[in-house]
Amino acid sequence: MRIADFALERYFARWEFAVEHVLGASDVEGWSMAELVELADDETRAMWNGLRLGYTESTGHPKLRGEIARLYDSVEADDVLVFAGAEEAVFCLFNTSVEAGDHVIVTWPGYQSLYEVARAAGAHVSLHALREDDGWSLDVDRLIRSFRPETRMVVVNAPHNPTGMLPSEADWRRLAEACAQARIRLVGDEVYRFLEHDGAATLPAAADLDDRAVSIGVMSKSFALAGLRIGWLATRDRSVLDRCARLKDYTTICSSAPSEVLALIGLRARDRVLARSREIVAGNLGVLDDFFARRAEALAWIRPRAGSIGFPRLVPGGPAGSSADRFAAGLVEKTGVLLLPSSTFGFGDSHFRIGLGRTDLPQAIEAVDGFLGG
């Protein structure tokens, strides 16, 4: 298989564990093991204490799949397949559901594997650009107009990495309906679901809107448990899961036994887990509102509607300069604060990704303030 480098991951590989503050991260500050285990109920505590480190069920622990299914309205445990993170789910989905000559539409800028794996599988990929001049909105009419007879899949990441886009529920339902009518599979990358800001409602999951649609989920982002490497696909179209399970036999075979139990603990305690994540993100959004208001001559941003990421832009001629690559390089060299320049998304040189989920954000922003001077 030939596949282009994952630019964002290569950038992280260089810097992520060598810097003081990862301000470009997409996840929420991870739980400590001790705090997470404290959340266990009687059953999961017994599972944890009695855990044997053998192979696990290839599709995922039945109790874990059952708990994941509860995140949806019309999904059962057998409509869920567990993977090593959303990344393996994406890899297996595209490699088994699209083939040479298929057309796939993917929101953009975006998480590279959502279009790169499809391309590597031989698909023609159209990138559906979100419109910054319209608040990073998803233009559903334009998206529907871009359907072709050979379109097999429409992939929408919402809440969106890196812009924080969240479509209206009416637009989202309209898109799902148009996909269903055209026999196009809608794929919702919903890894930031449940992190909606300012009272915005959680969208219905793709898998609940159409019986062929697929939802991608993970413990890494809203659930703040990235180290578990537990993700999943949920769909009522079991033929999709069956094909993925056959490929998974060649990737990881089955999930990590401790991670499955810890994910189950986190999901059963999801009210507390999500409340913690929302509190961290809301606090950081407040810090950033103040920062961007004070630094308007250097940086402009469209406040994310959901998720744990924003995508600010350098103001041309302003004190941050006009190259995001140079700004990020200077910042990390001088202060040890890591941002992700938009070149890692193949999206020009004017934007950078900023993460809202880490508890050291106030210190990191103080360092950025010092770097900007004035």
**By the criterion CB under 6 A, which residues form the site for ligand PLP?**
26, 85-87, 111, 157, 161, 189, 191, 218, 220, 226, 231
Distance of alpha carbon 31 from the chain centroid: 18
Class of residue 174 by CB neighbours under 10 A (exposed 0-12, middle 13-18, buried 19+): middle
Closer to ligand PLP at the Cβ: 94 or 111? 111
Closer to ligand PLP at the Cβ: 233 or 367? 233
Question: Shortest gap between Cβ of 226 and ligand PLP (angstroms)?
Answer: 6
CA 188, CA 155: separation in Å to the nearest integer? Answer: 6
Identify the CA nearest to 107 among candidates 138, 86, 132.
Answer: 138
Helices 257-268, 270-294: inter-axial angle, 10-degree rounding: 80
Question: Shortest gap between Cβ of 313 and ligand PLP (angstroms)?
Answer: 20
Closer to ligand PLP at the Cβ: 188 or 312? 188
* Shortest-Cβ-distance residue relative to ligand PLP: 85
Question: Shortest gap between Cβ of 92 and ligand PLP (angstroms)?
Answer: 12
Question: Shortest gap between Cβ of 357 and ligand PLP (angstroms)?
Answer: 11
Cβ atoms of 231 and 7 within 8 Å: the answer is no
CA 297, CA 316: separation in Å to the nearest integer? Answer: 9
Q: Which DSSP category does 298 fall into?
A: T
Question: Shortest gap between Cβ of 239 and ligand PLP (angstroms)?
Answer: 23
Closer to ligand PLP at the Cβ: 64 or 320? 64
The residues, any chain, with a CB within 8 Å of residue 291's CB and separated by 6 or more, are 365, 368, 369
Distance of alpha carbon 184 from the chain centroid: 22
Question: Shortest gap between Cβ of 258 and ligand PLP (angstroms)?
Answer: 17
Closer to ligand PLP at the Cβ: 60 or 231? 231
Closer to ligand PLP at the Cβ: 91 or 327? 91
Please count the other Cβ atoms lying within 10 Å of the Cβ belonging to residue 312: 25
With H, G, I as helix, E, B as strand and everything else as coil, classify residue 152. Answer: strand
Indicate if the alpha-carbon torsion angle 132, 134, 137, 143 is positive or negative: negative
CA distances from 324 to 194, 229, 235, 330, 352 (A): 30, 31, 39, 10, 6
Question: Shortest gap between Cβ of 8 and ligand PLP (angstroms)?
Answer: 8
DSSP-derived secondary structure for 175-208: HHHHHHHTT-EEEEE-TTTT-B-TTPPPPPPHHH
Question: Shortest gap between Cβ of 89 and ligand PLP (angstroms)?
Answer: 8
Closer to ligand PLP at the Cβ: 295 or 358? 358
Closer to ligand PLP at the Cβ: 4 or 46? 4
Cβ atoms of 19 and 215 within 8 Å: the answer is no
Closer to ligand PLP at the Cβ: 61 or 221? 221
Closer to ligand PLP at the Cβ: 28 or 86? 86
Question: Shortest gap between Cβ of 198 and ligand PLP (angstroms)?
Answer: 21
With residue 325 as reference, give the H or E element that holds it.
Answer: helix 324-335
CA distances from 167 to 111, 138, 351 (A): 17, 6, 21
Question: Shortest gap between Cβ of 227 and ligand PLP (angstroms)?
Answer: 10
